A = this chain, B = another copy of it.
Amino acid sequence: MKKSALLFAILGGSAQAALAQSSTTVYGVADMGLVVENGSAAGSITKLTSGVGYGSRVGFRGTEDLGDGMSTKYVLEAGILMDSGASAQGGLAFGRQAYVGLTGSPGSVTLGRQYTPYYWTLLTVADPFVTGYAGTATNLMANPGRANNMALYTTPTIGGVTGELSYSFGEVAGNITASRASGGSLGYVNGPLVIKFSFNNATNATGTDNAKNLLLASAYNFGPVKLHAAYAQNKGLGTTNTQDGLIGVTVPFGASRILASYVAKNDKSGANRDAHQFGLGYIYNLSKRTELYTAYAHISNKNGATYIVGNGTELGSGNSAFNLGMRHFF
């Protein structure tokens, strides 16, 4: 009886729902800012841009307690370009995250479109800009971002150590290798110290080549200042062979914080297309959920390298950019 009521409710037949106990949380980010980009051959550009810091979004998430410390969790998160009303992530309706899984004492397994462990490490440990604003490390560093068809296993945290393993199905008929990706991370947290190693391997569409990214990132919170340092190595596809280094700081004081980072790209291939970026940001917390921000970054390209300064949502157009805007969490 309960089963059929549930079915009926799920199928939209009833609003006196058997699902009144639903614990869906609607949450999101609304981020809009002025962006001035310089250094492009087409000329400079001034824009009002969505998601300069964090990508603007609305999401739905919830959990269900299964007993014995186990629970079900899901996230459905839509990226929004608030400047135009379009979907972000190339037009995907729920392109940011969409997964469901089980979590408990043996760890968690989640299935769907998810962040790669590599990107999560870059975002949460390495980059003082949290991969947003003009200074985002992703202007120079590899960004595997999200992967489709991903199964992600996360270990429980034991003695400060946590691991992740991901596998993303390529879904090419007759070729299990093609278009697939795998990744993982191993992290250690001890008081003010975080160290995390992560990798991402992605096979091309024919299964004949492989892009390999390694990232070692760490942060140490001294209190008045948090130091960030990271090293990354990127090999393939083709002759791609680069190394990235990052050092950065987060300096909180009162309702403010300053972000700064220096990122260097070392091109190990013959062309030697090196680049380095300096980024500076300032964030002021108007309240618990609303921030004002400003940021600036500049990239120096060598030997014909063409790296550009973007932000949390847009790829950018020139080798320097200035941001000024606001961000609201809801």
Which A residues lie at the B interface, using CB under 8 A?
Answer: 2-3, 6-7, 9-12, 15-17, 19-33, 40, 42-50, 54, 56, 58-67, 72-78, 80-87, 89, 92-102, 111-113, 123-124, 130, 146, 148-151, 168-169, 171-176, 252, 286-290, 317, 325-326, 328-330
B82, A92: Cβ atoms closer than 8 Å: no
Query: Interface centre among A45, A59, A175, by most B CB within 10 Å?
Result: A45
Partner of A45, one of B6, B20, B174: B174
B111, A317: Cβ atoms closer than 8 Å: no
| With A46-B169, A85-B95, A174-B42: A111-B148 Cβ-Cβ less than 8 Å | no
Instruction: Give, as a whole number of angstroms, the nearest-CB distance from A43 to chain B.
Output: 2
Which B residues touch A42, using CB under 8 A? Answer: 173-174
B149, A47: Cβ atoms closer than 8 Å: yes
B45, A27: Cβ atoms closer than 8 Å: no
B76, A30: Cβ atoms closer than 8 Å: yes
A19, B173: Cβ atoms closer than 8 Å: no
Alpha-carbon distance between A47 and B178 when the two chains are bound, in angstroms: 12
A47, B169: Cβ atoms closer than 8 Å: yes
Which B residues touch A2, using CB under 8 A? Answer: 288
Residue on B nearest A289 in the bound complex, by CB: B64
Alpha-carbon distance between A74 and B82 when the two chains are bound, in angstroms: 10
Which B residues touch A113, using CB under 8 A? Answer: 82-85
Which B residues touch A9, using CB under 8 A? Answer: 27
Alpha-carbon distance between A40 and B73 when the two chains are bound, in angstroms: 35
B6, A329: Cβ atoms closer than 8 Å: yes
Partner of A73, one of B15, B21, B26, B76: B15
B85, A96: Cβ atoms closer than 8 Å: yes
Instruction: Give, as a whole number of angstroms, the nearest-CB distance from A132 to chain B.
Output: 11
Partner of A22, one of B16, B27, B94, B111: B27
Alpha-carbon distance between A9 and B169 when the two chains are bound, in angstroms: 28
| With A30-B74, A30-B76: A86-B82 Cβ-Cβ less than 8 Å | no
Instruction: Give, as a whole number of angstroms, the nearest-CB distance from A115 to chain B.
Output: 8
